[in-house]
Amino acid sequence: MKDFRLYAITGEQFHPNRDLIEVMEEAILGGVDIVQLRDKTSGKQELLRKARALRELTRKHDVTFIVNDHIDIAMEVDADGIHLGQGDLPLPEARKIVGGKIIGISTHALQEALLAESQGADYIGVGPVFRTATKADVVDPVSVRYVREVAQFIKIPFVAIGGIKLNNVDEVIDAGATRICAVSEIVGSSDVRGTCEAFLGKLKR
Ligand SMILES: Cc1ncc(COP(=O)(O)OP(=O)(O)O)c(N)n1
Ligand SMILES: Cc1nc(C(=O)O)sc1CCOP(=O)(O)O
Ligand SMILES: [Mg+2]
């Protein structure tokens, strides 16, 4: 997969008065390399509509597009990949369906990270680093200690996620993260583009 530094996930509850595509385009203009469609409430038809619109947007800007959870939607819109959690379809089975598309796997402990790496994940999510209200069924924060462990033992790309804000990202970078993912801090910002640029400024230092 193309390398990346800043990964933005959709979260429409954080911008109730703004259009999804407009917000994600601002994030892309701010330098986001990957956009993930994550939507826990829409039905399949609505999801498909959003996925098609985001696929068109990400193609226009040559940005990677990942669909969370729904392999069928990812295949239908020709997304670049899929993100799967520990409770989703196991990676080997997902690989049979998606072929060479990107597979990202959520991990919350080194054992999960090592397994995902050995099974051929293209990247892993590492979190939740801090407490977050964005994900209802999230596990307890893993802290920057887990980021440090992954930086030491895992060779595939990893992205830190969970409660990451402009005012705590330095801690995550100091622990060894070179790729950051955020939902609320990016899409809930009154200056989406500026927030992305500020994250990237910190990642480049
Ligand atoms: C980049 C990234 N990392 C982790 C997650 C969380 O995925 P999952 O554990 O499947 O939980 P849900 O997002 O489905 O609630 C993610 N989506 N993206
Ligand atoms: C979707 C998701 N997955 C997590 C994990 O740890 O796997 S934390 C999370 C929510 C991240 O949202 P915010 O940036 O608003 O805290
Ligand atoms: Mg999931």
Catalytic residue IDs: 38, 106, 135
Token pair, residue 23, equals: 């917000």
What's the pTM value of the predicted model, to 2 decimals?
0.98
Cα separation, 77 vs 50, whole angstroms = 10
Tokens 């977050």 belong to which residue? Answer: 132
Buried b (16+ CB within 10 A) or exposed e, 106-137: bbbebeebebbbeeebbbbbbbbbbebebbee
Q: How many domains does the chain have?
A: 1
Pocket test for ligand 1, best of 13, 68, 134 (most atoms within 8 A of CB): 68
Residues of the chain above pLDDT 90, percent: 98
**Are 61 and 86 a contacting pair, CB within 8 Å?**
no
Cα separation, 160 vs 4, whole angstroms = 12
Whether 107 lines ligand 2, by a CB cut-off of 6 Å, is no
Does some domain include residue 177?
yes
**Are 89 and 71 a contacting pair, CB within 8 Å?**
yes
Please enumerate, by residue number, every residue annotated as part of a binding site for Mg(2+).
69, 88
Distance between Cα 110 and ligand 1 center (Å): 16
Does some domain include residue 79?
yes
pLDDT digit string (tens) for 52-106?
Answer: 999 999 999 999 999 999 999 999 999 999 999 999 999 999 999 999 999 999 9
**Residue 138 scores a pLDDT above 90:** no
CATH number at residue 66: 3.20.20.70
Domain coverage including residue 183:
6-204
Pick the atom of ligand 2 nearest to 133's CA: 16
Does some domain include residue 1?
no
Pocket test for ligand 2, best of 129, 131, 134 (most atoms within 8 A of CB): 134
Whether 161 lines ligand 1, by a CB cut-off of 6 Å, is yes
